[in-house]
Structure 1
Amino acid sequence: MAIGIWLTVGFGIALAALAVRDIIQRRHAILRIYPLVGHFRYLLESFGPELRQYIVTSNDEERPFSRNQRRWVYATAKRQNNQFAFGTDQDLEHSEGALVIRHHTFPLAQFHPGDAVDQAGYPLPSAKVMGAARERRHAFRPASIVNVSGMSFGALSGVAVEALNRGAHLAGCLHNTGEGGLSPYHHNGADIVFQIGTGYFGCRDEHGAFSLAALQRTLDSGAPVRALEIKLSQGAKPGLGGLLPGVKVTPEIASTRGIRPGIDCKSPARHGAFSDIDTLLDFVEHLADATGLPVGIKSAVGDPDFWETLASLMASGQRGVDFITVDGGEGGTGAAPLVFTDRVALPFKAAFPLVYKIFHQHGLTSRVTFIGSARLGLPDAALWGLAMGCDLINVGREALLAIGCIQSQKCHTGRCPTGITTHTPWRTRGLDPALKSVRTANYLIGLRRELTALARACGEIHPALIGLERLALVENGYRIQDLQHILDYAPGMGLPGVAARGELDELMRPLFEDRLRTPTTQVS
């Protein structure tokens, strides 16, 4: 009896010690928020692959990100082994529309851990200087083709925003604020793209209208804002305004957005500062003249006439946008009605070619920086976007996975189990921005590393130089369909112009000189 009592006491002490350790440690948000119980998640995850051989789902069935995709992001963010063994588990011979990348028979030599390029974080600068074509005073060349997409403070917790910003700074990436304004959590080093939404948060007067003076105060706050993005719509809910319930409008969020705390925060469905394409271009030039910054637009794609008219006006006059962010209908972290998330706006792989070809027909593609957004944060998806003509790739939900998101899909409830999309203190305390910022940087650099490896496998020094002729789809019956043919791209479409390619080669060659053409032999 005495032995049993002592065993029980000892077991209780061990559990209490483990609970204290879980609460104190900072590596795992789940364990800090759910001490003891959180271990079951890792236990189930550890034998999940074996369990799934018999029941539940396969590695590629879950959406929006499959288990294999999440495993790659998690391992990359933690600098763990992100390799996969025993060959692919995809049925490539019978999968309708499986992507195949045509490698070069004589690829460029690859890099290895410890190489100078590895130590430098696989720098992949943009082929274009954003704003240079229209001679903006503060035109610049983005240092990374992979950047963090717009996700607002309010939709995300402060610690999540801080982790993303600090991580983007470590990786040398841009960080888009989202439409919720420039918060204190954005002041952690990363270069900023300030998004102007229909609510004009961070640039509004007391009546909610756009205010250039308020925008200038925001720009003077100390954060390194490099560009302005006018959000026309987003993939999660195109054609709808936003709503942040009053219970979520904390004093800190209210201060950031320029609104009153505790009151429902509503974003209109459309802008009040302009009413059509002509006045939109006037607004763009007004912002660019006043600030000197490159100014662009973000939009999901529905009406092709909008893009045709925009391109026509830009081609025939002196006004124009410096960059275009195309958001696919499958993108977005925002909460929205199911019919909008599922059925409104074209998916990215249909939307982007529509826009790009219109601008190509008007001879404008070299004057505009194109940014892709919508589930492009995995190497194959990012390469697909770059081959279609994207100059930059924005990652959103994949970056959230890197800081601990487990795809519980409770973003809109305020009960996010990892502290990312909630403002409940006992949930957000589990997310340590110092640790998660490093994981953000690891993921962003890891994505650039794999894009570099893919480029070199295809015989190029930069992934933006891989054309659509290198990509194909495998259809039933073993038929191969070239993406260049499917998308009706002429040879060379989607690639940077001759001048941009020359500049890119000049930038990249010193970094890769020792591994341009000479095969290397590794001796152990």
Structure 2
Amino acid sequence: MNFITSLPWWVYLVLIIVTIILRDILQKRHTIVHNFPLIGHIRYLLESIGPELRQYIVANNREELPFNRRQRSWVYASSKKENHYQGFGTDQDIHEAGYIFIKPALMPLKTDPNESFDKPCPSAKIMGAHREKPYRPKSIINISAMSYGSLSAAAVSALNQGANQFGCYHNTGEGGLSPYHKFGSDVCFHFGTGYFGVRDHDGNFDLDKMVALVKANPNIKMIEVKLSQGAKPGKGGVLPGSKITKELAEIRHVKVGEAVLSPASHSAFSNIPELVDFVETIAKHTGLPVGIKAAVGKLEMWEELAIMMKDTGFGPDFITIDGGEGGTGAAPPSFADHVSLPWVYAFSSVYKVFQRYGLTQRITFIGSGKLGMPESAIMALSMGVDIINVAREALMSIGCIQAQVCHTNRCPTGIATNNKWLEAGLDPALKSVRFANYMKNLTKEIMEITHACGYEHPSQFNMDDIDVSMGDNAHTAPLRLAYGYQKDEVVMAKD
């Protein structure tokens, strides 16, 4: 024993290294480690921290996706009320295809120099004006669908408290209405094929539960039926039983510890007439505006929906178009990368369908898909969007670092996880203020650009106000020519 304890430290180090080398050679799981013992571990280490190395060291300010460093920095600075200006000109390649140019007026709109523009800008339209309880959103920028369960309780609480501070609505996502959605903000109750929170024992839609939910929660101002989402349109999902806690089971109306399937399609309807009937039934019994959310691919059913709405006067009060770029929801790469149209093509295609049938003033159009930056928001508004929903940008304002591990339950910022240790690092009281700050700065810059272009309200933008670079020698073209339509003039609602 004395001999062993008297050995120098380097002998122990050599023994450990030899042990690792022998283990590496004898194991058969990893070829690289077997063929290059000890050294092979460095390869896996570098692979594991590769995203972080690229994010902070290798990629330039404008290179990384989904959000580059400059975009993330703007959100972070805005949320912390830090300096988010830049000097010495743009570092963008302003000649690249798809680059947008917002055209200012020679004479900007005269405004009161003492007026603050960091407050909510109300929607130009009233949702469901013919419904029993019509709703005019207080803000043109709101929180997109992200459910409790996919986000932590602390994250949902921070967003809802921040929404209440700023004055925007909060979309519940399809996980049901949780206690963390009840800090005072207006709420859009959103559900999908799983009917969480409004389902019966067999997983089918329960109208009585919907009516009771709305009656018990007057903060619910609108209802959204999800047909599909940009991350994985046409694909269902499974919520593992290990994630179904007692609280989640009560909120979603499922059984504790039992895996829950969200089918790819709805059981309550299977065609356009049945969808319209479903929407009208919910609206009749709740009195609220009811809309639909979908990613976009084939247009035949959109055409059918528009024709039916034109002929009958029935149908959704609002339509949310989700971009195929994906979002906070986890999805197979094939779906996230290739299934459904990117937002700009998706929205323009659907808008033109409803424009042909004279329905654009009747419907409130909502855009969702990387629109939480001032310039992208302005572009969307000029194309016919009335309201913008933000998801990932909202998460960045409360601390998301784009680690892209939302699907692993290992979110380092405590946002997309139910790990209590990680979640404990997110302080809702602090982060709610940061979200509200982000919304104030986003709205302020949208309004300042609006006034620079000679308008009073962002809904007044049209497609000739934005040019898009066509690449090569095609120079630039107005959005009107690039996408083949002109947005209809919006009639401002009266208070």
Task: Tell me which interval the TM-score lies in, with the shorter structure as reference length.
Answer: 0.7 to 0.9
Decide which of 73, 76, 81 is 2:75's aligned counterpart. Answer: 73
Asked whether 1:130 is paired with 2:132, we answer no
Asked whether 1:284 is paired with 2:279, we answer yes
Asked whether 1:107 is paired with 2:108, we answer yes
User: What SS does structure 1 have at the residue aligned with 2:292?
Assistant: strand
Do the aligned partners of 1:192 and 1:223 also contact (CA within 8 Å) in 2? no
> Structure 1, residues 466-523: CA drift from partner, whole Å, max 9, x if none?
1110101223347121111111113xx2431xxx23x46xx6xxxxxxxxxxxxxxxx
Q: CA deviation at 1:263?
A: 1.5
Cα distance in 2 between the residues matched to 1:187 and 1:494 = 37
Asked whether 1:326 is paired with 2:326, we answer no
User: What SS does structure 2 have at the residue aligned with 1:469?
Assistant: coil
Larger deviation, residues 66-75 vs 439-448: 439-448
Decide which of 481, 488, 493 is 1:485's aligned counterpart. Answer: 481
2:397 equivalent in structure 1: 402
Do the aligned partners of 2:409 and 2:416 also contact (CA within 8 Å) in 1? yes
User: What SS does structure 2 have at the residue aligned with 1:160?
Assistant: helix
1:91 equivalent in structure 2: 93
| TM-score, normalisation: structure 1 | 0.82
Cα distance in 2 between the residues matched to 1:240 and 1:337 = 10
Cα distance in 1 between the residues matched to 2:489 and 2:263 = 37
Query: Which amino acid in 2 is paired with 1:447?
Result: L
Q: CA deviation at 1:141?
A: 1.1
1:223-372 aligned at under 5 Å gives the runs 224-372=219-367
Q: CA deviation at 1:332?
A: 1.9
> Structure 1, residues 311-366: CA drift from partner, whole Å, max 9, x if none?
00000013111000000101321111000000000001000011111101001111
Larger deviation, residues 447-456 vs 219-228: 219-228
Decide which of 482, 489, 492 is 1:495's aligned counterpart. Answer: 489
Do the aligned partners of 1:117 and 1:123 also contact (CA within 8 Å) in 2? no
**CA 1:70 to 1:362, structure 2 compared with 1: closer, same or farther past 3 Å?**
same
Cα distance in 2 between the residues matched to 1:238 and 1:314 = 24
Cα distance in 2 between the residues matched to 1:199 and 1:314 = 26
Query: Which amino acid in 1 is paired with 2:280?
Result: E
RMSD: 1.7
Cα distance in 2 between the residues matched to 1:62 and 1:389 = 29
User: What SS does structure 1 have at the residue aligned with 2:341?
Assistant: coil
Aligned length: 442
Decide which of 410, 414, 423 is 1:428's aligned counterpart. Answer: 423
Q: CA deviation at 1:111?
A: 6.8
Cα distance in 2 between the residues matched to 1:304 and 1:382 = 24
> Structure 1, residues 249-274: CA drift from partner, whole Å, max 9, x if none?
11111111001121212211111111
Do the aligned partners of 2:291 and 2:316 also contact (CA within 8 Å) in 1? yes
Cα distance in 2 between the residues matched to 1:142 and 1:463 = 14
Q: CA deviation at 1:283?
A: 0.5
Q: CA deviation at 1:85?
A: 1.3
Do the aligned partners of 1:165 and 1:175 also contact (CA within 8 Å) in 2? yes
User: What SS does structure 2 have at the residue aligned with 1:341?
Assistant: helix
> Structure 1, residues 33-56: CA drift from partner, whole Å, max 9, x if none?
xxxxxxxxxxxxxxx99x98xx61
1:375 equivalent in structure 2: 370
Do the aligned partners of 2:229 and 2:322 also contact (CA within 8 Å) in 1? yes
Cα distance in 2 between the residues matched to 1:116 and 1:107 = 16
Cα distance in 1 between the residues matched to 2:227 and 2:393 = 23
Cα distance in 1 between the residues matched to 2:111 and 2:474 = 31
Query: Which amino acid in 2 is paired with 1:77?
Result: S
Cα distance in 2 between the residues matched to 1:435 and 1:243 = 33
Cα distance in 2 between the residues matched to 1:328 and 1:111 = 37
Asked whether 1:117 is paired with 2:111, we answer no
**CA 1:441 to 1:259, structure 2 compared with 1: closer, same or farther past 3 Å?**
same
Do the aligned partners of 2:135 and 2:222 also contact (CA within 8 Å) in 1? no
1:209 equivalent in structure 2: 204
Cα distance in 1 between the residues matched to 2:216 and 2:261 = 25
User: What SS does structure 2 have at the residue aligned with 1:117?
Assistant: coil
User: What SS does structure 2 have at the residue aligned with 1:472?
Assistant: strand
**CA 1:110 to 1:61, structure 2 compared with 1: closer, same or farther past 3 Å?**
farther
Cα distance in 2 between the residues matched to 1:84 and 1:186 = 36
Q: CA deviation at 1:110?
A: 6.1
Query: Which amino acid in 2 is paired with 1:131?
Result: G
Query: Which amino acid in 2 is paired with 1:268?
Result: P
Q: CA deviation at 1:219?
A: 1.8
1:385 equivalent in structure 2: 380
Query: Which amino acid in 1 is paired with 2:481?
Result: H
1:143 equivalent in structure 2: 138
2:32 equivalent in structure 1: none
- Give unmatched runs, 5+ long, in structure 1: 1-47, 508-524
Do the aligned partners of 1:390 and 1:494 also contact (CA within 8 Å) in 2? no
Cα distance in 2 between the residues matched to 1:123 and 1:205 = 38
Q: CA deviation at 1:217?
A: 2.6
Do the aligned partners of 1:331 and 1:373 also contact (CA within 8 Å) in 2? no
> Structure 1, residues 90-138: CA drift from partner, whole Å, max 9, x if none?
1213x122111111111124676xx3434xx333111111001xx1000
Cα distance in 1 between the residues matched to 2:488 and 2:429 = 38
User: What SS does structure 2 have at the residue aligned with 1:412?
Assistant: helix
Do the aligned partners of 2:119 and 2:166 also contact (CA within 8 Å) in 1? no
Cα distance in 2 between the residues matched to 1:155 and 1:218 = 21
Do the aligned partners of 2:232 and 2:326 also contact (CA within 8 Å) in 1? no
User: If you compute each CA radius of gyration, which structure gives the higher value, 1 or 2?
Assistant: 2
Cα distance in 2 between the residues matched to 1:303 and 1:189 = 39
Do the aligned partners of 1:203 and 1:215 also contact (CA within 8 Å) in 2? yes
Q: CA deviation at 1:84?
A: 1.0
Query: Which amino acid in 2 is paired with 1:400?
Result: L
Do the aligned partners of 2:120 and 2:168 also contact (CA within 8 Å) in 1? no
Cα distance in 1 between the residues matched to 2:389 and 2:112 = 25
User: What SS does structure 2 have at the residue aligned with 1:210?
Assistant: coil
User: What SS does structure 2 have at the residue aligned with 1:430?
Assistant: coil
Query: Which amino acid in 2 is paired with 1:160?
Result: A
- Give unmatched runs, 5+ long, in structure 2: 1-52
Larger deviation, residues 418-427 vs 84-93: 84-93
Query: Which amino acid in 1 is paired with 2:116?
Result: V
Structure 1 vs Structure 2: percent identity of aligned residues?
50
Cα distance in 1 between the residues matched to 2:375 and 2:482 = 18
User: What SS does structure 1 have at the residue aligned with 2:216?
Assistant: coil
Cα distance in 2 between the residues matched to 1:111 and 1:343 = 47
| TM-score, normalisation: structure 2 | 0.87
User: What SS does structure 1 have at the residue aligned with 2:411?
Assistant: coil
Do the aligned partners of 2:297 and 2:341 also contact (CA within 8 Å) in 1? yes
Do the aligned partners of 1:301 and 1:345 also contact (CA within 8 Å) in 2? yes
Do the aligned partners of 1:108 and 1:460 also contact (CA within 8 Å) in 2? yes
Cα distance in 2 between the residues matched to 1:286 and 1:78 = 44
2:191 equivalent in structure 1: 196
Do the aligned partners of 1:388 and 1:494 also contact (CA within 8 Å) in 2? no
